[in-house]
Amino acid sequence: MTTNHNTNRPGIIYGTAWKQERTATLVEQAIELGFRGIDTACQPKHYHEAGVGEGVATSLRRGLVERTELYLQSKFTPLDGQDPARVPYDPRASLSEQVAQSLQMSLKNLQTSYLDCLVLHSPLANPAQTLTVWQAMEQLHDAGGVKQLGLSNCYHLQQLEQLYHAARIKPAVLQNRFYAATQYDQTIRAFCHQQQISYQSFWTLSANPRILAHPTLQALAKKYRRTAAQLFFRYVSQVGIVPLTGTTSTLHMQEDLAIFEFELTPGECEAITALL
């Protein structure tokens, strides 16, 4: 599968937040089991990015995968999302310099010469600052350090549209929390579909216990002899969403990868959509 920037992207991505000292082992295990997409961030507060790089490097040395088969995605996290004691760039530098320094740190941490996607972790305080950061990301794309650009934690359609229309290099990815409080981003997802922006979901399971426990989903899980989590991941995949999974369980990794072994009918997808 390719994005509008002709970059390979997997149907499901392994998320590495909050793994700390287990990061390298879990990333290596995820790749060995079959994950080809890895999501991280240059944000020591929540991610051990160097551990991701260690896990990837070990996988490459073992011959489990080639770098070109992997989709490595990291993020520039603005200053207000960083731990003040562990900012991975010079907080006194200009926004553009912060973005450049962050990418260099990510490339060093991940032991790679390029990212498949650099994501702006969240919009900044005002549109002008957001555009300044985006333009700095565009320069990094031009220089070859990044194949495509994305945005995360953007829950207002007007904000996304404004950036999209102002950007020279359009966002190829939007990564958001997928939950009821934002009406599951229905209008935003429609815009993404129209503009060929890949919509990635996080907290897809943990934010939706009601849906996972619903009789409709439970009945489908029984029919397909799958778990409720597999049914919901399969559903979001079939409606054009790329889910992130951050499981630390080998069994759950295997189950998450197995969602492409079966397919829901259009009617079954509609029945789940009605639960949102």
Q: Are residues 250 and 186 in the same domain?
A: no
Segments forming the whole domain that contains residue 44: 13-202
Q: Which of 169, 187, 202 is the last residue of a domain?
A: 202
- The low-confidence residues of the chain, meaning pLDDT below 70, are 1-7
pLDDT value at residue 11: 97
d(C-alpha 167, C-alpha 164), whole Å = 5
The CA dihedral of 61, 66, 70, 73, to the nearest 10 degrees, is 50
Closest CA to 169 of 197, 208, 141, 190: 141
Residue with tokens 């990061």: 23
Q: How far apart are CA 9 and CA 215, in angstroms?
A: 33
Looking at the structure, tell me whether residues 25 and 121 fall in a common domain: yes
C-alpha pair distances (Å), 46 with each of 40, 42, 255: 9, 9, 25
146, 102 Cβ separation under 8 angstroms: no
173 domain-assigned? yes
pLDDT number for residue 13 = 98
Distance, CA of 166 to CA of 161 (rounded, Å): 8
| CA diameter of the chain | 57
Shared-domain flag, residues 23 and 71: yes
What pTM was computed for the model?
0.95
Q: What is the CATH number of the domain that holds 18?
A: 3.20.20.100
Nearest CA among 271, 272, 270, 267 for reference residue 233: 272
Phi and psi at residue 72, to the nearest 5°: -105, 125
Residues 6+ apart with CB under 8 A from 233: 12, 204, 205, 243, 245, 256, 259
Residues 151 and 30 both lie in one domain: yes
Q: Are residues 77 and 165 in the same domain?
A: yes
- C-alpha angle 13/210/264, rounded to 5°? 55
| Distance set, CA 2 to CA 51, 177, 183, 193, 196 (Å) | 27, 22, 27, 14, 10
Q: What is the pLDDT of residues 225-271, one digit of tens each?
A: 999 999 999 999 999 999 999 999 999 999 999 999 999 999 999 99
Q: Quick one: 100 and 140 in the same domain? A: yes
| Residue 214 covered by a domain | yes
The per-residue pLDDT for 7 is 60
Residues 44 and 118 in one domain: yes
Count of domains in the chain?
2
Asked whether residue 33 is domain-assigned, the answer is yes
Cβ 150 vs Cβ 118: under 8 Å: yes
Asked if residue 213 belongs to a domain, the reply is yes
Of 183, 202, 221, the residue at which a domain comes to its end is: 202
- Specify whether 188 is located in the same domain as 215: no
Residue 2 maps to a domain: no
- 168: helix, strand or coil: coil
- Residue 208's pLDDT is 98
Asked whether residue 158 is assigned to any structural domain, the reply reads yes
Distances (CA, A) of 250 to 32, 35, 95, 176: 11, 12, 40, 25
Q: Is 94 a member of any domain?
A: yes
**pLDDT at position 9:** 79
Same domain flag for 162 and 31: yes
Last residue of a domain, one of 202, 234, 258: 202
Same domain, 196 and 214: no
How distant, in Å, are the alpha carbons of 102, 121, 160, 211, 240 from that of 151? 15, 6, 9, 27, 17
Q: Is 75 within a domain?
A: yes
